[in-house]
Structure 1
Amino acid sequence: MLSSAIAVTFAALGLAAAACTTVGKVTHTHYGYPDNDPPGPATAYDCGRNFKAGGTGTYADPVTFASAQGEFTKCEIIYDPYLRKYLRYEDYCQQCTEDWAASPKIHHIDVWTGSATVNGGQEQIQCENDLTPADKSQTIVRQPATNLPVDMN
C-alpha cells in the first residue's frame, strides 16, 4: 500500500490507481556506450529502433532501459518519476538478472544514458555513477498515462 504522501504525489501527477501499477523499492543504475556489453548502442530487443538504444524520454520516444528477462514485457513502456521520463524495456542487464533471481526478488532497471554514436569513456561512466540513487530507493509506474510530466534535460 502506498503511503499517503506517495499517493498524493501520484494523484498530482494524474496517475489513476486503476490505470497504472506502481512498483516501489526499485534499484536504478545507468549504462551507456562505454559500459554496454559489447560497448556501443546495441540492444537485445528491437522495439522500433533497429536494435539501438536511445530516446528522449517522451511517451512517443521513451529512453531505453535494461532489466532482467521476465521482469518486464519486451518493449514495455514505464514511467520513472525519479527521472521524469518514460522508459522502454529494450535491453538485457546481467546484474538486474542476478537481482531478480535473488530471494526476495530485487527490482532493478538500468537506464541508457548518453550517445548512441559516441563513446563517452570514463567521464560518461562517472556521470552514470553520479546519477545513480541509493539501491532500492525509487518507484516506477507500469501502464502509465501518456501525458505525465517529462524533463527534457
Structure 2
Amino acid sequence: MSATADPADKSNPAARLGFEEGQIIQELGYDEDCDQDLREGIEEITGAELVDEDYDDVADGVLLWHREEDGDLTDALVDALEYLAEGGLIWLLTPKTGRDGHVEAHEIADAAKTAGLSQTSSVAIAKEWAGTRLATPKASKTGKR
C-alpha cells in the first residue's frame, strides 16, 4: 500500500492538476503567499518534495507562481521550459481576479504564445490562486523543426 495520496481524492486540491506518483515537479516563483495546502497536496500525490530553481535535471512538470510585479511573464515561462521533460506541463499559478498581483488573462495568453506554449485549461485551484495549464505544442514533441 502506498503512502501517497490517491490522485482521484477530491479533498486534495492538487488532484485536479494531473500530477502522478513518482513525478519530479519543479517549483518556481515560491514566496510566503503561495498556497501551502496545494504544495503539500502535490507532494502527497507525487511522493516527492517539490524541487526549486536550483534543480538542474529534467523535471516532469513545473509549478510556476507568478504575480504581476514578478517581472516579465514570457521570460519566466521560457525559464520554466529549461529543464522540462518532453511532454511535460507547466501549471502557471496567478492570483485570482481582484487579488494583489493579479495577471490579466490576455497577458497570460500572449506570454504563453510568445514562449511557444499552448494554453489548454484554467482552474480555480486554491483560495487565492488560479491555475493555467500550459503545454508544449505537439509539433515540438515529434522533433519537427
Greater helix proportion: 2
TM-score, scaled relative to structure 1: 0.28
TM-score, scaled relative to structure 2: 0.29
User: Comparing both chains, which one has the higher relative contact order based on Cα–Cα distances under 8 Å and sequence gaps of 6 or more?
Assistant: 1
